[in-house]
Amino acid sequence: MSGIDLSCNRLTGQIPLEMGNLSEIHSLNLSHNNLVGVIPSSFSQLKQIESLDLSYNNLSGRIPIQLVELNFLEVFSVAHNNLSGSTPEPKAQFGTFNESSYEGNPLLCGPPLQNNCSKTESPPTVPTTIDNEGEGSFMDIYVFCVSFLVSYVIVLLGIFVVLYINPYWRQVWFSFIESCITTCRYSVVGNFLELYIFKRCA
């Protein structure tokens, strides 16, 4: 078999990985269909391929870099798909293909296209910095709250343990609490009486 031409057949679905096993074919044309998914990296096994046409489909993802191993490739087209990323390194046979082999893929960059990959793929630095700062502030507040809560619980447990083990300190503690309650009670009653007397005199 010298070649396979399945163009203009309204084929759908993904390209079978097994097509990479057709190592003896010289041409493969799958253009003008409705194929989706990625270009199989197994196509690098088509060592005798001279013409590979995958244009006018809905293929996505990157062009496999392994395709540069196809030393007999003379015709190559992935035009008018949804491919992204950089074009294969322009060496060996891929150094002979012009822009028409890749056109119609807005997210594709690199030679021989006019799109510069450094501009297309470089991530915005300012939003990332702001996001990192916001995330760092949130983490600082979270760590502080957790540390404060843990310290508070440890202090309470320490007080309870000391009071439970040492009867003397337990008695002193309860006496202190009772004294505070008594003082507060007399203070409230005294303020109330002063307010009452003040109103009577007025």
pLDDT at 175: 80
- Whether the per-residue pLDDT at 4 is higher than 50: the answer is yes
* pLDDT tens digits for range 35-81: 999 999 999 999 999 999 999 999 999 999 999 999 999 999 999 99
* pLDDT tens digits for range 119-160: 544 444 445 454 555 556 666 787 788 887 888 788 877 777
Please tell me whether residue 85 adopts helix, strand or coil conformation. Answer: strand
Strands annotated E in the chain: 3-5, 12-14, 27-29, 34-37, 51-53, 58-61, 75-77, 82-86, 107-109
Q: Cα(136)–Cα(107) distance, rounded to whole angstroms?
A: 33
* pLDDT tens digits for range 71-112: 999 999 999 999 999 999 888 889 899 999 999 999 999 999
Q: Cα(124)–Cα(197) distance, rounded to whole angstroms?
A: 74
Domain boundaries along the sequence of the chain: 3-109, 138-199
Residues in the chain: 202
Query: 3-109, which class in CATH?
Result: alpha beta
* Predicted structure pTM score: 0.58
